[in-house]
């Protein structure tokens, strides 16, 4: 038999042994190309390894035995050739499968003061994974792994190893995930890292490792999701964070109060006012007992309880909460702080709802000025104040000024959230109402009523 015929026969036999699985075939082909083994030699190696295969007790996914065997063959050689590549694979098995930015490994090391892996070594490790068909590298910067490869990689680890790598992944993401509600520069990189953060947090939570970092990461991810109107996902992240924190901190720690407050903001946007109120009352009681009645955190809770009361139409009670919050914020921070602006803006909302748009304008303008001083001209909080001010001006028949403020708000919201975020859609709808007004549509009072924007609290932590 000719060499060509022998190779063809070996290829057919190998394909049959691998169940014609594309991923297993890709890994086999990569291994033979890297090592110089013939297909017949690889088939013999595969059969020898398959005869010793023991399936995991609790596999994390459904995958064929052939894929596990091709992975084990590749990984054994990989560990010899590049321990760094083997470590990178184990770590990425506990992240989301697609587009892990290699840059985060260097950035996380810089933030923690650890010795960073040189860029060249990191790129080499990623390229080695691709050589063995265990990952793909895009543009030299983003690494992706097949979901089944990740599952096999996790399942081959012992319990302690699995916990160690899950802890390493959540530690990496807790350091790398940059979200800050006040700093909009952190929002685009947070979007890129969100799924990796959530995936790492979930593995760590299930494995019971790094609970403190996992709780913080889930809270940060929840805040990002909340800001982007993904409310069900935000609530799930917050509630997992609360569950972990209660175990770690106990039921009366101020750190827990922050998390209770944050989930309440999402519950309010979902219309779950009773649940939101329960969380906030619990948070307020924790802070007053632990920090005293004049602490800034107490003012945050008062402001947000005011939001619930306002949503229920209890305007006088809401205003008293806002005013107490303003007093505490001014004592704690002076006259220029984002939390202070939020409470001032909310008093404006009360006045507007009670039929005093002129009085509301004074509060909106003060809040707007503070927001601009604190955050600059292009921040969503600025746009919220602009929207509310535009509605009040419209009810005073100051149509041109109202349009100017609403158009500026629309530009800011679009810049940060795109066209489909509720805040963007709301302002766009209000401007359409103004267009109808200009064409002889509804009265200014009717348009202003439609334009009233309820601000959700910007004092979550």
DSSP characters over 87-138: HHHHHHTTS-SS-EETHHHHHHHHHHTPPPPPHHHHHHHHHHHHHTTS-EEE
Q: What's the mean per-residue pLDDT of the chain? A: 91
Count of domains forming the chain: 2
pLDDT digits (tens, 9 = 90+) for 372-412: 999 999 999 999 999 999 999 999 999 999 999 999 999 99
Grouping H, G, I as helix, E, B as strand and the rest as coil, residue 346 is helix
Q: How far apart are CA 119 and CA 103, in angstroms?
A: 8
Q: Is residue 458 part of a domain?
A: yes
Q: Is residue 404 part of a domain?
A: yes
Place of tokens 């990191």: 122
Q: Which of 121, 142, 157 is the last residue of a domain?
A: 157
Please tell me the predicted confidence (pLDDT) of residue 454.
45
Q: Which of 128, 157, 186 is the last residue of a domain?
A: 157
- Cβ–Cβ < 8 Å for 286, 257: yes
Q: Which of 105, 127, 157 is the last residue of a domain?
A: 157
Q: How much is the pTM?
A: 0.84
**Domain of residue 385, CATH code:** 1.25.40.10
Please tell me the predicted confidence (pLDDT) of residue 123.
87
The parent domain of residue 427 ranges over: 335-461
pLDDT digits (tens, 9 = 90+) for 92-139: 999 999 999 999 987 766 665 556 567 778 889 999 999 999 999 999
Q: Is residue 262 part of a domain?
A: no
What residues of the chain score a pLDDT lower than 50? 1, 453-459
Tell me, what DSSP letter sits at residue 334? Answer: -
Please tell me the predicted confidence (pLDDT) of residue 215.
96
> How many helices (DSSP H) and strands (DSSP E) are in the chain?
22, 3
Please tell me the predicted confidence (pLDDT) of residue 10.
84
Q: Is residue 405 part of a domain?
A: yes
Q: Is residue 403 part of a domain?
A: yes
CA distance readout (Å), 353 to 276, 310, 357: 21, 9, 8
Please tell me the predicted confidence (pLDDT) of residue 116.
59
Q: Is residue 270 part of a domain?
A: no
- Cβ–Cβ < 8 Å for 385, 361: no
Which bin fits 112, alpha (ψ -120 to 50), beta or left (φ > 0)? alpha
Q: Is residue 68 part of a domain?
A: yes
Phi, psi angle pair for 253, to nearest 5°: -90, 135
């Amino acid at each position: 038999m000719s060499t060509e015929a022998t190779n063809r026969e070996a290829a057919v036999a190998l394909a049959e042994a691998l169940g014609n699985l594309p991923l297993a075939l890709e890994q086999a082909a990569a291994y033979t190309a890297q090592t110089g083994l013939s297909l017949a030699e690889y088939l013999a190696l595969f059969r020898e390894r398959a005869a010793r295969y023991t399936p995991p007790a609790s596999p994390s996914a459904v995958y064929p035995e052939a894929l596990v065997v091709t992975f084990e063959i590749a990984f054994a050689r990989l560990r010899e050739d590049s321990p760094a590549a083997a470590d990178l694979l184990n770590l990425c098995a506990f992240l989301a499968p697609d587009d892990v930015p290699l840059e985060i490994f260097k950035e996380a090391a810089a933030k923690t003061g650890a010795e960073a892996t040189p860029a060249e070594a990191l790129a080499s490790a990623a390229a080695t994974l691709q050589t063995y068909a265990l990952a793909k590298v895009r543009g030299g910067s983003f690494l992706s792994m097949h979901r089944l490869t990740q599952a096999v990689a996790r399942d081959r680890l012992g319990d302690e190893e699995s916990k160690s790598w899950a802890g390493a992944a959540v530690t990496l993401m807790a350091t790398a995930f940059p979200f800050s509600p006040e700093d909009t520069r952190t929002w685009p990189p947070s979007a890129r890292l969100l799924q990796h953060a959530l995936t790492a947090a979930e593995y760590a939570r299930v494995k019971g490792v790094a609970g403190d970092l996992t709780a913080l990461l889930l809270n940060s991810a929840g805040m990002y999701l909340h800001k982007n109107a993904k409310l069900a996902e935000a609530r799930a992240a917050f509630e997992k964070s609360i569950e972990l924190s209660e175990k770690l901190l106990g039921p009366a720690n101020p750190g827990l109060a922050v998390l209770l407050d944050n989930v309440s903001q999402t519950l309010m946007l979902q219309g779950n006012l009773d649940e939101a109120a329960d969380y906030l009352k619990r948070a307020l009681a924790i802070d007053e007992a632990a920090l005293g009645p004049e602490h800034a955190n107490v003012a945050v809770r008062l402001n947000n309880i005011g939001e619930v009361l306002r949503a229920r139409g209890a305007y006088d009670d809401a205003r008293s909460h806002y005013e107490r919050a303003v007093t505490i914020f001014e004592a704690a921070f002076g006259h220029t702080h984002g939390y202070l602006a939020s409470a001032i803006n909310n008093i404006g909302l009360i006045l507007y709802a009670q039929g005093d748009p002129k009085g509301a304008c004074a509060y909106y303008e003060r809040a707007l000025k503070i927001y601009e001083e604190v955050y600059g001209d292009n921040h969503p909080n600025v746009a919220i104040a602009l929207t509310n001010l535009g509605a009040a001006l419209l009810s005073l028949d100051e149509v041109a000024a109202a349009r100017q403020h609403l158009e500026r708000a629309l530009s800011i919201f679009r810049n940060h959230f795109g066209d489909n975020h509720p805040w963007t859609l709301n302002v766009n709808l209000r401007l359409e109402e103004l267009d109808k007004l200009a064409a002889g549509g509804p009265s200014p009072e009717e348009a202003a009523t439609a334009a009233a924007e309820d601000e959700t609290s910007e004092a979550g932590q």
